[in-house]
Amino acid sequence: MTVFDPELRQRSRAARIAMALLRLSHAVKAISSDEVKGLGLTPMQAQALLWIRYTKPFLASVGRLAQALGVTHVTTIGIIDALERAGLVTRQVSPIDRRVTLLRLTPAGEQVVERLDAFGHTLEEALTRLDEQELAALERGLGAVVWSLRSNGLLQVAEACRGCVYFRENVAPGTDEPHRCTLIERFLSEQEARLACPDYAPEHPQGLLPIAAE
């Protein structure tokens, strides 16, 4: 039985929701193409630029980008090669591990990211039709699905440090790196703590975002 079978959908709420999510994924692809039209980018390239911009610099590796985009390493290399040729991205050998290549935006790449400000807004706008209570319920439900898929290794969820079980806030007050991550045993600046990390482990995994658990 497949969720494409309308009879199954009549009987099963889970099948109806699964189908709705599949339809949404098609809509998201179309919306994404539309939103980056005019910048000379593909949606994947736009996502790669946004990921580099909002990921902690010491974690912004090619391998982690591949996981975030849900594509192979070879495909990711192709995306980065194109962005590098366009002068938007550079590669840098990690000072900690020379086997790891870190990705950086060039000044031109930063400018393009600023123009990507509207990326995702069409979907956000569609959600404004729901009231606060409906949004909260949707967030809880989608959050549970997202974390379940993440625990099966099917997608990556990267968030900023606050709300992560490994985050120790302001353990070195008055220094440039006041916070600490007990997973990687590293002090973090405030700016680093605010950027996304693919190893984020929520205190309350049932919520999509830390704020959902408040």
Residues near ligand SF4 (CB under 6 A), total: 10
Phi, psi of 92, deg, nearest 5: -140, 135
- Contacting residue, 166, 187, 204, 205, with ligand SF4 by CB under 6 A: 166
Q: Considering the rule CB under 6 A, would residue 209 count as an interface residue with ligand SF4?
A: no
Q: Considering the rule CB under 6 A, would residue 177 count as an interface residue with ligand SF4?
A: no
Please answer whether residues 14 and 66 qualify as being in contact, where contact means their C-beta atoms are separated by less than 8 angstroms: no
Q: Considering the rule CB under 6 A, would residue 60 count as an interface residue with ligand SF4?
A: no
Q: Which helix (H) or strand (E) holds 181?
A: strand 179-181
Please answer whether residues 117 and 111 qualify as being in contact, where contact means their C-beta atoms are separated by less than 8 angstroms: no
- Contacting residue, 183, 209, 212, 213, with ligand SF4 by CB under 6 A: 183
Q: Which helix (H) or strand (E) holds 111?
A: helix 107-115
DSSP one-letter code for 166: T
Q: Considering the rule CB under 6 A, would residue 167 count as an interface residue with ligand SF4?
A: yes
CB closer to ligand SF4 out of 46 and 161: 161
Say which residue the tokens 């959902």 belong to: 212
Site residues (vs ligand SF4, CB under 6 A)? 161, 164, 166-167, 181, 183-184, 197, 199-200
